[in-house]
Amino acid sequence: EEDEDLFSSVWRSARNRSVWLLVNVATAFASTRIIDVFQDTILQLVALASLMPIVAAMGGNTGNQTSILIIRSLALGQITSANVRRLIKKELTLALLNGTLIGILVGALSWALYYDLALSFVIGAAMLINLMVAVGVGLCIPLVRYKLGKDPAVGASIMLTAITDSMGFFIVLILARTFL
């Protein structure tokens, strides 16, 4: 059920939320499978293990910023069929700018820690790509749920976290396997 509101009973809220938390547990285990597939790459460069969570976390935070903005704008009636394309273009452009800035910063910090130019490139590029993915997902989840007549806020953060974590790990590891 998705009809929980602020004043729903504890049991109804627990039932509704536990479903999404169980989805989160399942997707977290899915992320571990992605890491497991690339364990040989991680073993070759242990620094990846310390940098991957940064890429995943930044993706989640970026996607949540976008998702919350979209959910609020939908609730206030600010998003219409006339302006949705412009909004999507703006958010993706912003993701490109922020992804480039944060990618350069994280790449530089990676260089300062590990003195490995290829690793710094991989982490910086993964950051840029994952932030683009995160904004795309942060836009799509609430917009699609709204279009389907569902509450755009329900499960948005859990779905977003699952996708950005999995994609963050996958992007880092596929770039590492390719370039390192």
Confidence class of residue 2 from pLDDT cuts 50, 70 and 90?
low
CA distances from 117 to 34, 108, 110, 151, 172 (A): 25, 9, 9, 45, 15
DSSP H helices in the chain: 10-37, 39-44, 47-75, 84-114, 117-147, 156-179
First vs last C-alpha separation in the chain: 47
Tracing tokens 């976290």 back to the chain, one arrives at 161
Give the residue with greater pLDDT, 5 vs 176.
Answer: 176
Tens of pLDDT, residue by residue over 9-21, are 777 777 777 777 7
Q: Do 127 and 106 contact (CB within 8 A), yes or no?
A: yes
Give the pLDDT confidence score for residue 29 in this predicted structure: 80
Per-residue tokens: 23? 């989805």
Confidence class of residue 24 from pLDDT cuts 50, 70 and 90?
confident
Predicted structure pTM score? 0.82
Give the pLDDT confidence score for residue 10 in this predicted structure: 79
Tens of pLDDT, residue by residue over 42-100, are 766 888 888 999 999 999 999 999 999 999 999 999 999 999 999 999 999 999 999 99
Task: Measure the CA–CA gap between 64 and 103, rounded to whole angstroms.
Answer: 18
